[in-house]
Structure 1
């Protein structure tokens, strides 16, 4: 990445967009209405709220100051009403460039990861890397999110499916979410977090460029600098095979595998959605093996009408 994409300019952009979204009334300041020339808070207002000098804050927002202290960052985060994910992102952008220059390890799925995936049984599971590349999935995970793609796609590093690319550039995935716009915001927020954590990842920068050019909606959301933590999220999905279902997606970090997460999809126990998820783990199989032997050799094989990944 060039210098314009590293942590300090990104820090200034993040501060500026967070400042613009706050109205004076939100923080107990007088609102002068039409006489205000800028959206949101002025720089001097934010500096006053955070207890720092205006000159220092301006240098910080312009990318001219060195790393701010944790105390200053916490004061700015409080003044800007940042949530936990945004606060963490602010600290990362301020002090993350040195960390980002370390050589990033190749992403691979270890036997321990595959054992972890298998432990979730018939729940859909996808293993994603720091750029949201799909590193592995089980049968149900493939069937739920990308049954129209080859099941062995994650095994080929050069052409692995990418969940962000699918959400913004793939028509099947767009139709998969009832509230696609909310899913899109979540995806962009996670990519924002990734750029803060890995500012020198060239392939990540290339992905951002590709999505910005290929999707005006992505470009608009990217400019907002919103951050989304990897945690849990509820979605209503409209699957082409098993129909509509309400799910909860859990993002779990993998120990000793920086940036890799296991995303597990569940549904309320005993619900139709849970039954639908279980169907996704079923391959096409003979309906009755004993009945098969009674049929003539030139008769078609009968199969159970369940989804196939």
Structure 2
């Protein structure tokens, strides 16, 4: 860790320590400065007071991720502050904290709904679709018609014949989805959490089992950026897609599909308005 980074880390720790109310944590006694004392933070973080003091003074060296996690909890940092702490201390963000989610906030849903000609979805790290717009419902899948537990992209790609029939090249799509899914769940530390889904799909789909056994890892940039579909009403269409992380929720991702043909875009808008 550079001298400047160590100094910035120390300044940040002091600023976060000074805003905490000692009485809220059961600490008493007169104080010359606001906030917790250094030894009190160290006590809450279960680390040496001397080591914590060195960190604030910019001479403690590079802390481990475990130490930063303890300090983050001790200082009651928000997710954004926790990420900043790791960037200062280790030069990288912390591991993603996965949060179970069944819906998104109204602001994010309004963003999706504003994309009237572009199908757009929000998915979790385990590829469960938790939000979508009308364009996605008419072009991709009517997610509202599916039980909440079956809105997983792998689930209906490998188990829903109608979804499979829409794919211009199902084999290529399936290979990409499995490879990207594997990368996402590993990045989020959720390999064990998706074990039941993997076992279920392996039992019912020999194709999934073979792809999973290949251990291929892919990213969204590895699929060419264009999705081709055989839509029952729109016919053969091409959609350019982009993937975005959701601000403040690294466990969520937004995918937006933009029609390459203006006439197709207008037809999607018309279909979506009829729902």
Calculate the TM-score normalised by the size of structure 2.
0.59
Matches within 5 A, 1:95-106: 99=95, 104-106=98-100
* 2:236 corresponds to: 244
Which of 158, 165, 171 aligns to 1:175? It is 165
Offset at 1:245? 0.7
Secondary structure of 1:223 counterpart: helix
Q: Spell out, residue by residue over 1:135-186, the C-alpha distance to the aligned partner (whole angstroms, 9 max, x if none).
A: 0111111111123x544x4xx65x2511111111110010011111111011
Offset at 1:200? 4.0
Offset at 1:201? 5.2
Contact map agreement 2:226 2:241 (CA 8 A) in 1? yes
Residue correspondences, number: 179
* 1:161 corresponds to: 151
Secondary structure of 1:280 counterpart: helix
* 1:68 corresponds to: none
Q: Spell out, residue by residue over 1:51-89, the C-alpha distance to the aligned partner (whole angstroms, 9 max, x if none).
A: xxxxxxxxxxxxxxxxxxxxxxxxxxxxxxxxxxxxxxx
* 2:119 corresponds to: 124
Q: Spell out, residue by residue over 1:177-203, the C-alpha distance to the aligned partner (whole angstroms, 9 max, x if none).
A: 111111101110111102321334544
C-alpha separation in 2, matches of 1:238 and 1:200: 33
C-alpha separation in 2, matches of 1:236 and 1:145: 11
Q: Relative to structure 1, is the Cα distance of residues 99 and 254 closer, same or farther in structure 2, using a 3 angstrom cutoff?
A: closer
C-alpha separation in 2, matches of 1:128 and 1:179: 22
Calculate the TM-score normalised by the size of structure 1.
0.53
Offset at 1:208? 1.5
Which of 263, 270, 273 aligns to 1:279? It is 270
In the alignment, structure 2 segments of 5+ residues that lack a partner are 1-93
Superposition CA RMSD, Å: 2.3
Offset at 1:221? 1.0
Secondary structure of 2:229 counterpart: strand
Secondary structure of 1:228 counterpart: coil
